[in-house]
Amino acid sequence: MMKDSSTATKILSQKDAGVFRKHGWQAADLHVHTLFSPDVIPAASLKPSRLYRRARENGMDYVTFTDHDTMAAYNCLSPRIKGLVRGVEIKIKDIETVGHTIHVNVFELDSLQFQKLEEIAALGDLHGFLDLLKAEKLPFVYNHPLWFEHGEKPNLSVIPDLIKLFPVIEYNMHRIRRKNEITMELARKLGKGLIASTDTHSGMIGKAYTLSRGKDFREFYNNICQGNSYIVVRDLTKQDLMQEMDIWLDLLSSQDMISIRKRIATGMGNLDRLIAILTSKSLKDFPRLYRGALAAAHKIANSGLPAALYIRKEISGIYEMEQILCMH
């Protein structure tokens, strides 16, 4: 059923959100990655326990970790800690229905439900995946509808029909403003709930979040579905991206680094190549050379060129999106 535009999710400033919270509204950043995600630098500061504390310090009433296709974070945490919500981000590529990979956040699931969902996702059966979510009555969100896996050609024309299959979609801090505006307009037109989240891979939890009300997470989520919620947003800019690249490089050089056993893939080709060089064992064996490489990496990041190229790529597809999605 389509919601009236008066019930559409509204954007609040941080200051106004503070007033709402004093009146009993609750906050949650519903898209957060820990060091268990393959595209996150394995620094101790990105352990689930530390991120949980940071989220609570930043005013999040509900805390969830949505790592890529793993729920390992919850093996490190007591299920009884206040406000913790089990979650995961699952990717699925249904060639017949969609044509490109989409990411879905699922909440309040147990290990068996996670296993079943992963099995269906591996088959590329989106309808079977959604049928199980509904049968198990699990809260779920269509993440960043206008983000696509590197190297895939998106099927833009199917996105409105895709959104119709989901109760809630996401306004994502790591997307440029125009993409988020299109997402928000699609949510309004199609009567869908909308969350704002950071999708942080570097510990910046709570810089964007959703305000809703509920005696528990299920009621909090149901109010989002009904449009009885607000969002505090942030959009990707060149400066933000330069800052995040500096954070990633600082994490790589910090003393709390855990031994790297994985290839880190951030989705930014230039940064990934820098990280691959800086994390190579052969380079670590030569401290002076390593320090020189790290300084060079910081210089490249601070030049703004990698960030500018990424933003340019984000902007390049906007006109086509507006034409196909009838947003002009």
Question: How confident is the model at residue 7, as a pLDDT?
Answer: 39
Q: Clarify whether residues 67 and 201 are in a common domain.
A: yes
- Specify if 324 maps to a domain: no
Choose between 150 and 173: higher pLDDT: 173
> What CATH number did the domain enclosing 22 receive?
3.20.20.140
Could you tell me the CA-to-CA distances from 322 to 94, 119, 162, 215, 315 in Å, in that order?
A: 24, 35, 17, 39, 12
Please tell me the pTM assigned to this model. 0.92
325, 186 contact by CB (below 8 A):
yes
- Specify if 111 maps to a domain: yes
Question: Which tens digits make up the pLDDT trace of 178-197?
Answer: 999 999 999 999 999 999 99
Q: Clarify whether residues 229 and 251 are in a common domain.
A: no
**What whole-number percentage of the chain has pLDDT above 70?**
91
Number of domains in the chain: 2
Choose between 25 and 8: higher pLDDT: 25
Question: Which tens digits make up the pLDDT trace of 108-129?
Answer: 999 999 999 999 999 999 999 9
When pLDDT is averaged across residues 238-250 and rounded to a whole number, the result is 91
pLDDT at 1 over 90: no
Question: How confident is the model at residue 270, as a pLDDT?
Answer: 67
pLDDT at 84 over 90: yes
- Specify if 26 maps to a domain: yes
Question: How confident is the model at residue 289, as a pLDDT?
Answer: 86
- Specify if 191 maps to a domain: yes
Question: How confident is the model at residue 262, as a pLDDT?
Answer: 59
**Euclidean distance between CA atoms 46 and 35, whole angstroms:** 5
- Specify if 161 maps to a domain: yes
Q: Clarify whether residues 201 and 124 are in a common domain.
A: yes
Question: How confident is the model at residue 229, as a pLDDT?
Answer: 97
- Specify if 323 maps to a domain: no
Could you tell me the CA-to-CA distances from 306 to 146, 192, 275, 303 in Å, in that order?
A: 21, 35, 13, 8
Domain boundary among 203, 236, 269: 236
Question: How confident is the model at residue 74, as a pLDDT?
Answer: 98
Q: Clarify whether residues 282 and 202 are in a common domain.
A: no
| H helices present in the chain, as ranges | 14-22, 48-57, 111-122, 126-135, 159-163, 177-190, 217-225, 238-253, 269-278, 281-284, 287-302, 305-316, 318-324
pLDDT at 324 over 90: yes
- Specify if 318 maps to a domain: no
When pLDDT is averaged across residues 246-261 and rounded to a whole number, the result is 73
Question: How confident is the model at residue 4, as a pLDDT?
Answer: 42
Position 91 confidence tier, pLDDT thresholds 50, 70, 90: very high
Q: Clarify whether residues 152 and 269 are in a common domain.
A: no
Kindly report the backbone phi and psi dihedral angles of residue 237, in degrees, each rounded to the nearest multiple of 5, phi listed first.
-125, 165
Q: Clarify whether residues 267 and 134 are in a common domain.
A: no
Q: Clarify whether residues 285 and 227 are in a common domain.
A: no
Q: CA geometry: angle at 155 spanning 29 and 196, to 5°?
A: 15
Strands 10-11 and 84-93: unpaired
194, 168 contact by CB (below 8 A):
yes
When pLDDT is averaged across residues 58-62 and rounded to a whole number, the result is 98
- Specify if 327 maps to a domain: no
Question: How confident is the model at residue 162, as a pLDDT?
Answer: 97
Domain boundary among 212, 236, 260: 236
Residue 298: Cβ within 10 Å count: 16
When pLDDT is averaged across residues 287-298 and rounded to a whole number, the result is 86
Question: How confident is the model at residue 234, as a pLDDT?
Answer: 96
Q: Clarify whether residues 72 and 138 are in a common domain.
A: yes
Position 5 confidence tier, pLDDT thresholds 50, 70, 90: very low
Position 259 confidence tier, pLDDT thresholds 50, 70, 90: low
Question: How confident is the model at residue 273, as a pLDDT?
Answer: 76
Question: How confident is the model at residue 276, as a pLDDT?
Answer: 78
Choose between 159 and 38: higher pLDDT: 159
Position 231 confidence tier, pLDDT thresholds 50, 70, 90: very high
Contacts of 285 by beta carbon, 8 Å cutoff, 6+ apart: none
Q: Clarify whether residues 155 and 272 are in a common domain.
A: no
275, 264 contact by CB (below 8 A):
yes
DSSP H or E segment with residue 93 = strand 84-93
Q: CA geometry: angle at 10 spanning 9 and 14, to 5°?
A: 130
- What integer best gives the mean pLDDT of the chain? 91
Give the residue among 221, 219, 207, 138 at the shortest CA–CA distance from 172: 207
Domain of residue 168, residue span: 5-236
Question: How confident is the model at residue 172, as a pLDDT?
Answer: 98
Position 2 confidence tier, pLDDT thresholds 50, 70, 90: very low
Give the residue among 91, 99, 73 at the shortest CA–CA distance from 162: 99
